[in-house]
Amino acid sequence: MSTLKVALIQTNIKWLDISANLAALEQQLSDCKAVDLILLPETFATGFAMARPAARVDSDGGQILIWLKAMAERHQAVIAGSVFVTHRDKIANRFYWVWPNGETKYYDKRHLFRLGNEGDHVIAGQAREVFNINGVRILPQVCYDLRFPVWARNQNDYDVLVNVANWPAARRKIWDTLLQARAIENQAYVLGVNRIGQDGFNVQHSGGTVAYDFKGDILALVEDHCAGVLYSNLDLDALAEFKQQFPAYLDADSFSLLD
C-alpha cells in the first residue's frame, strides 16, 4: 500500500477504572472510520499503576484484550495499546497489536524506568519486534524506550516508529525533542501517543500526541491538555522517494544488538 491511515488517541486515563476508561475510548472512537491503525496510550485502561493488582490482567490479556479484539473488528482496523500482564513472578508492560480478524501480536517494553522502580515489578522485554500492516513495517516502542536510540536504530527494516507513553509534563520537552530526533535519524515516520491529566501519584501529563514525517516535520498534533483523536495519512511513496534522493541510511554504521 502507498498510504497508512492512522488514528492516535489522546485521553485522560482514570486511575484504576477500567470500565470508565474503555467507555471513554469507545466514545472517542465512535466517529473513527476508514483507518488502518488505531493507537492508544501506554496502560490506557488503568493508568501506570504497576504495583496495584487491580492494574494487572491475566497472561491471556483478560477483559482488556477481549475489548481490543471487539474494537478492532468494529472499526476494521488494527488497534494497539499497552497493558500490565502477569508474567512469571512479575508483570510485563505488554504492547498488544490486534487485527480485525482477531490475530494478536505484542511487544514487551524493553527499557524499564529506573527512577520509578519499574524493574521491581516489570520484567524487561527481550525481543525487538517489527509488525506489518498491509506492507507497511512498524517498529513498536513504549515510553522510556524513546531515550535509547540504539534500540530504535533503523536497519532499513521499518517505515514507521510508534511510541505510546505516560510521559509526564515535567519532562515534556524531552518527549518532543526525542520523537523528532528519532524521525530524522531513522528516516522514518514517527507517531507519539501520550495521555493527559493527573494520575494516582499526582503526576501531571500534558499530552503531546503527534505525527512526524521522515524529515522531522510535524504532520498533525493534538492540542495540549485536551482529549482528542489525531488523524494522519502516512505517504509511503513519499518516504521511498526521499530515501532514494537522500540515502543516508546506506552510510549507517553496522552493529548488532546484544542481550
User: What positions carry a catalytic annotation?
Assistant: 42, 109, 143
What are phi and psi for residue 218, nearest 5 degrees? -75, 125
Question: What DSSP state is assigned to residue 122?
Answer: B
Can you point out the beta strands (E) in 99-135? Answer: 104-108, 131-133
Block residue for cell numbers 473488528: 73
Q: Are 101 and 136 in contact (CB under 8 A)?
A: no
- Pinpoint the alpha helices (H) of 122-196: 149-152, 172-186
Rounded Cα distance, 222 and 18, in Å? 24
Can you point out the beta strands (E) in the chain? Answer: 3-10, 37-39, 56-57, 78-87, 90-98, 104-108, 131-133, 136-142, 160-165, 189-194, 196-198, 204-206, 210-212, 218-221, 228-235
